[in-house]
Amino acid sequence: MIELRGVSKTYLMGKVEVKALCDVSLKISSGEFVAIMGASGSGKSTLMHILGLLDRPDSGAYYLGNKEISKLTDERLAALRNRTVGFVFQQFHLLPRMTALENAELPLIYAGKRHLKEKARQEIEKVGLKERMLHRPNEMSGGQQQRVAIARALVNDPVVIFADEPTGNLDTKSKEEIILILKKLNQEGKTVVIVTHEQEVAVHARRIIHMRDGRIISDEYSQKAKENPEASALSKNFTESVLSQPHKLSGETKFLDYLRQAGFAMLSHKMRSFLSILGILIGVAAVIAMLALGQGAKESIEKQLASLGSNLLMIRPGSERSHGVALEAGTVTRFTFQDVEAFAKLSDFVARVCPSVTGRGQLVYANKNWNTQVEGTSADYAPMRAAVPAIGRFFTAQEVRMRDKVVVLGMTVVKELFGDSNPVGQNIKINLLNFKVIGILPEKGGSSWHDQDDTAVIPITTAMYRVFGKQYIDSISVEVNSPELLDAAQEEISRTIIKQHRLNKDNEDSFQIRNMADIKNTLEATTKTMSVLLGSIAAISLLVGGIGIMNIMLVSVTERTREIGLRKAIGATNKDIMVQFLIEAILMSFIGGLSGVSLGWGIATLINIIAGWTVKVSLASVVLATTFSLAVGVVFGLWPARKASQLDPIEALRYE
């Protein structure tokens, strides 16, 4: 079944070469019970590692089932190791976080046979641990732990069992029990190769090989070896099937098994996992809160701009400059209703035109009075400035023409004069003139320096001729048909003003036309810059969290070196190890990301409640933060995962 031809192996210990095996040739037939003996450093463990496909010879050939396999890839060797070989180690190498049954199931994961987990239960029962299968290793004696290791070695029904000093850490009674189990397995057709330095263990073998200085010095049969035909056929057929489909066997491991193993690892080191998750959690929460703050500021600005109207051009009179000194506004260009009519005729560009005058007014109702801004305007003010009254109505064009004394109040004025009462239909005085309240403007809010709701709106004719005594219009708002026409409309209106007022080149700058879109774009650009800045600062927290995960995972790789060696010994490939550690890093990042989203949402809500700032958590920011946290898990988990996958199984098993 197994044949070595001229196998040699040399290790480099610093600058010193140590010849572990020197030109070793050996044949092992199906159904044999072989004991390999020798003093420490004789090469017996190295021989077993090569026989068990854990190591490769420097020279010579290894034949398994009449096929030369020493040059196979690591992945194909792992598949062979998983399906044809079972290992029993002196140190047991059981995973402390798992029960006996779960330890026995491990080889099934890498064989793609997790659905056959009942086989692990059967093997546990065969070694006499039916009542202890749900106990963890620290709850069992040394002999019981070694039985679990034997059950794990048998779960994939291997054709050969390699036992490395299986009784070295056991008392006499447990030692005898393990020997009896190995002898029984041999009688059932399993090939058993045991490495030992104890003569009382070796006498149970049918064949004893003595080694010294890396060479076989004797090969004796204590009993006549009888080849088991069934074992021989089984080993040949089984080996050939594995050699023909190694990739499939190693690639069938289910993602859920990797996930389950990662979950076990995290739960077994709760504090370490929590600290890793905490770094990502803080980073994601910071990103969510900062982006929510930026988005809220953006929407607040958009809301304030919307209250001014959309696609608007604001036209104001300028002032003449004499010897570099600006004179009073309107000294050259003064707007009248004729200008309003001229702008309205530009129907290709202009949708609506709204003139206005402003001033301060003292408002009196009963025994209450309030000084506020009074604005005179036309009936088009409401649709242009998003100011359709929430209660009541706006004045009409007829009321403007008739100079009616009607008023629409802002919410602040209503609260100051009427409290919680409905003012519609009531009469108030504005600068000693009686006005009838016909509506309440929608609430628009404001900032610390300007309250948009502290206003009273009346017909422009009433304001000019009855309240303020003005002959000229303070400003004209023009609503353009579409945003694309703003620049063209601005040029056309400018030409109209110059023509209407017969301005010469020296006075062409005596009026101002402000494009609200420019103001909006400037504010939006500023807000966007702030959002990016805040998000970038928060992203640094995520990177710090990612570095924390990388450090924790590197520590984890070091702490779990022997576990990695065990997994490779039972058939895990480099890819299996890498994916498992990578999933563990991603899982911590994902949990931290989800928790961070919740925390960030809570922080944003608190900012809104305590500070009164407008905040908005958008779906895009949640997706961005979560995706970024997963990316951090992948990027910073990749190096530790790769480092784990490249560990040598023998060195890993020996790691202290």
Q: Which two tokens stand for residue 435?
A: 């006005």
Beta bridge partners of 473: 335
Nearest alpha-carbon partner for 151 in 101, 84, 82 = 101
Output helix, strand, coil percentages for the chain, rounded to the nearest 5: 50, 20, 25
Instruction: Report the range of poorest mean pLDDT among 97-101, 237-241, 367-371.
Output: 237-241
> Quick one: 634 exposed, middle or buried, by C-beta within 10 A (0-12, 13-18, 19+)?
middle
- Cβ–Cβ under 8 Å, residues 457 and 440: no
B/e letters for 356-388, b = 16+ CB within 10 Å, e = fewer, are bbbbebebbbeeeebebbbbbbbbbbbebbebe
Q: What is the 3-state secondary structure (H, E, C) of 235-288?
A: HHHHHHHHHHCHHHHHHCCCHHHHHHHHHHHHHHCHHHHHHHHHHHHHHHHHHH
For the four alpha carbons of 561, 563, 564 and 569, in that order, the dihedral sign comes to positive
The rounded distance, in Å, linking the Cα atoms of 504 and 332 is 11
Higher pLDDT, 92 or 246: 92
* pLDDT at position 459: 96
| 615: CB partners within 8 A, 6+ apart | 289, 292, 293, 295, 296, 604, 605, 607, 608
Beta bridge partners of 160: 85, 191
- Cβ–Cβ under 8 Å, residues 488 and 372: no
Q: Which two tokens stand for residue 510?
A: 């005596």
**Residue 436, CA atoms < 13 Å, CB-side half-sphere:** 11
Q: What's the pLDDT tens digit per position in 24-71?
A: 999 988 888 999 998 888 888 888 888 888 888 889 999 887 788 878
Higher pLDDT, 271 or 365: 365
Q: What's the pLDDT tens digit per position in 6-19?
A: 999 988 777 788 88
* pLDDT at position 305: 61
From first CA to last CA, the distance across the chain in angstroms is 34
Phi-psi group of 483: left, alpha or beta (phi > 0 → left; psi -120 to 50 → alpha; rest → beta): alpha
The rounded distance, in Å, linking the Cα atoms of 643 and 352 is 70
Q: What's the pLDDT tens digit per position in 270-320?
A: 887 888 788 788 878 887 887 787 777 777 766 666 555 567 888 888 754
- Strand 433-440 to strand 427-430: parallel, antiparallel, or no bridges (unpaired)? antiparallel
Give me the architecture of the 2-249 domain, per CATH. 3-Layer(aba) Sandwich (3.40)
The rounded distance, in Å, linking the Cα atoms of 312 and 380 is 13
Highest mean pLDDT among 5-9, 436-440, 561-565, 610-614: 436-440
Kind and range of the H or E element at 415? helix 411-418
Angstrom distances, CA of residue 225 to CA of 1, 121, 218, 228: 14, 32, 16, 9
The rounded distance, in Å, linking the Cα atoms of 266 and 254 is 19
* pLDDT at position 465: 93
Kind and range of the H or E element at 546? helix 516-559
* pLDDT at position 329: 45
Beta bridge partners of 392: 439
Q: What's the pLDDT tens digit per position in 381-430?
A: 998 888 899 899 999 999 999 999 999 999 999 999 999 899 999 999 99
* pLDDT at position 337: 92
- Cβ–Cβ under 8 Å, residues 569 and 87: yes
Highest mean pLDDT among 88-92, 443-447, 545-549: 88-92
Phi, psi angle pair for 91, to nearest 5°: -90, 10
- Cβ–Cβ under 8 Å, residues 353 and 340: yes
Kind and range of the H or E element at 416? helix 411-418
- Cβ–Cβ under 8 Å, residues 198 and 39: no
* pLDDT at position 507: 63
The 10 Å Cβ neighbour count of residue 619 is 7
Average pLDDT, the chain: 82
For the chain, which residues make up each domain, given as ranges?
A: 2-249, 266-303+522-654, 335-343+350-485
Q: Which two tokens stand for residue 229?
A: 């035909």
Nearest alpha-carbon partner for 112 in 255, 254, 261, 259 = 254
Higher pLDDT, 517 or 317: 317
Nearest alpha-carbon partner for 644 in 569, 587, 586, 562 = 562
Evaluate if residue 215 carries a pLDDT over 60: yes
Q: Which two tokens stand for residue 458?
A: 């009346």
* pLDDT at position 378: 94
Q: What's the pLDDT tens digit per position in 170-188?
A: 888 888 888 888 888 888 8
The rounded distance, in Å, linking the Cα atoms of 497 and 509 is 11
- Strand 207-212 to strand 33-38: parallel, antiparallel, or no bridges (unpaired)? parallel
- Cβ–Cβ under 8 Å, residues 329 and 319: yes
The arithmetic mean of pLDDT across residues 65-91, rounded, is 83
Own/partner long-range contacts of 222-230 (Cβ < 8 Å, ≥24 apart)? 225/29, 225/31, 225/32, 226/31, 227/29, 227/30, 227/31, 227/32, 228/30, 228/31, 228/189, 230/189
The arithmetic mean of pLDDT across residues 64-81, rounded, is 82
* pLDDT at position 236: 54
Give the CA radius of gyration of the chain: 44
